[in-house]
Copies of this chain bind each other. A is one copy, B any other.
Amino acid sequence: MIFSTTVICTATTSMLFDIPRLNPLGGIPQDSNIAETVSDDFQTFYYDQTLDHFNYWSESYTTFRQRYVINSKYWGGANRSAPILVYLGAEAPLDGALTRIGFLNENAVHFKALLLYIEHRYYGNSIPIGSIYERTDLGYFNSAQAIADYAEIIIYLKKQLQAQYSPVIVIGGSYGGMLASWFRLKYPHVAIGALASSAPILYFEDITPQDGYYSIVTKDFREASETCYQTIKTSWSVIDEVASQPDGLSILSKTFKTCNALSRSSELKSYLKLMYASAAQYNSPPRYPVTIVCGGIDGSAPPKTDILDKVFAGVVAYYGNRGCYVNAPQQISESETTVGWRWQRCSEMVIPIGITKNTMFQPSPFSLSDFNDWCKSIYGVPPRPRWVTTYYGGHDIKLTLHRFGSNIIFSNGLRDPYSSGGVLDNISPSIIALNTVNGSHCLDILPSKQSDPEWLIMQRKVEIKIIKRWITQYYFYLDSLFQAIN
């Protein structure tokens, strides 16, 4: 929506750096069968938010309307200092979160919790008005400003509700999970604990090997099917070989039923790479998209089928029967989410995902200088790839958080490629890693289903138990302080 002018020209270059978004929700549309009706218990409000929390010149006093939503149906009330569960919005409009973040809806009654959802600045309905088309306005669009927004709204709301002593737990998934853990570290006086689901806070600079992401995609496919993995691994050179023949691109276009003639073989390869990545990232029960893709690849009879036919059968298995594939006509414009997240990646969220070896993909190392050039060509300024680790840390995290901080759960599904940049070991007795071997991206905070496997049910149970312990400890200490005063 807002940044659409910058999009079209860079769409092809950007494929170089495409990766499934950091988002709790994703995968193929038919994956989701969740009722989308938002109940009347959710009330929408707007807060006049400060544009720039870290500057004092007149423009920084500009405010914008930031959306937040409250569900107080189950709240035990301010008198009882009943808890507040806060969903920290990520790179998407808030609407989806109201029904899709099951962790809040399902636990409100047990915690007697107020539910608060806050939209991230520059997404959904929380976009500063005024000079929005001017490049300078984007400067305010970053994580430090976003978590400062959250702090202001939570403090404001607790005051409004006279709920000064209600403990706040912040919850987020993926990029929102990073925000949740950073929020707990930076604003311990606002939130007593954080649940950071699938938050790859260590995928910055040189902390995580750049291969991390695609190594796990590869592992997921190999575990699903050795033959499927082999087929995919071989397919790239086959595509290159066909492409190099006279008329090769039109053969590929025909084989993959592309919506438009392929202009380059990389167009096809990027599409496939992104499909495998997406299947792995959102490889959730009961459908398990990786299994579905491999079912297509392995299952295409007769046994002697051409390798590209097999790969195409995987595409069809994943996306279902469509008129055409690969380069479907673009939407009128990319969603604000896609465009907003591109800006965030081109400013501070420089997650250096690349491929050097040991995957089923062709090598494609992450080049910071190419990335810089790409970002500069769009926005005129280069990213600051070292800022996240300067502001939030990440290197030697066990050492630096030893005896510092508390009450954070880092939950990960180890089949999620982003888990490679996640916190997978306990940092301390109260900064805890909760992994599931078969889990994928953000499963724990999504609505529970009848079909949920035991390990997922258990992961959620442990999370709830830990959060309950934080709250109990908090109340206990609160009482002891009051008794000391009186």
Q: What residues make up the interface of A, taking CB atoms closer than 8 Å to B?
A: 50, 52-61, 135-142, 144-145, 148, 151-152, 155, 185-190, 347-348, 379-381, 384, 387, 390-407, 430, 473-474, 477-478, 481
Tell me the bound Cα distance from A142 to B54 in angstroms.
Answer: 8
Cross-interface CB contact of A405 among B155, B393, B404, cutoff 8 Å: B404
With both chains docked as a complex, state the minimum distance between the C-beta of A392 and any C-beta of chain B, in angstroms. Answer: 8
Tell me the bound Cα distance from A304 to B57 in angstroms.
Answer: 57
A138→B57 contact, CB < 8 A: yes
Residues of B within 8 A of A394 (CB): 189
B403→A148 contact, CB < 8 A: no
Tell me the bound Cα distance from A188 to B135 in angstroms.
Answer: 34
A139→B55 contact, CB < 8 A: yes
Residues of B within 8 A of A145 (CB): 54
Cross-interface CB contact of A148 among B137, B155, B186, B391, cutoff 8 Å: B391
Q: Kindly report which residue of chain B lies nearest to residue A382, judged by CB atoms.
A: B61
Stoichiometry (number of copies)? 2
A56→B141 contact, CB < 8 A: yes
B405→A53 contact, CB < 8 A: no
Residues of B within 8 A of A401 (CB): 188-189
With both chains docked as a complex, state the minimum distance between the C-beta of A64 and any C-beta of chain B, in angstroms. Answer: 15
B53→A54 contact, CB < 8 A: yes
Tell me the bound Cα distance from A406 to B401 in angstroms.
Answer: 10
A390→B151 contact, CB < 8 A: yes
9 further A-B contacts with Cβ under 8 Å, apart from A50-B384, A55-B55, A399-B481, are: A52-B54, A54-B54, A56-B142, A56-B347, A56-B348, A148-B391, A152-B390, A188-B400, A403-B430
Question: Which of A55, A190, A384, A473 counts the most chain B CB atoms within 10 A?
Answer: A55
Residues of B within 8 A of A152 (CB): 390
A54→B402 contact, CB < 8 A: no
Tell me the bound Cα distance from A142 to B140 in angstroms.
Answer: 17
With both chains docked as a complex, state the minimum distance between the C-beta of A169 and any C-beta of chain B, in angstroms. Answer: 14
Residues of B within 8 A of A390 (CB): 148, 151-152, 155
Residues of B within 8 A of A141 (CB): 56
Known: A148-B391, A189-B393, A398-B481. A139 touches B57 (CB 8 A): yes
With both chains docked as a complex, state the minimum distance between the C-beta of A388 and any C-beta of chain B, in angstroms. Answer: 11
Question: Which of A347, A393, A404, A481 counts the most chain B CB atoms within 10 A?
Answer: A404
Residues of B within 8 A of A392 (CB): 189
B55→A188 contact, CB < 8 A: no
Tell me the bound Cα distance from A185 to B402 in angstroms.
Answer: 13
Residues of B within 8 A of A56 (CB): 138-139, 141-142, 347-348, 379, 381, 384
**16 A-B pairs (CB sep. < 8 Å):** A52-B55, A54-B54, A54-B55, A54-B144, A55-B55, A56-B138, A57-B137, A148-B391, A152-B390, A155-B390, A186-B186, A187-B393, A188-B400, A188-B401, A402-B474, A402-B477
A53→B478 contact, CB < 8 A: no
Tell me the bound Cα distance from A481 to B396 in angstroms.
Answer: 10
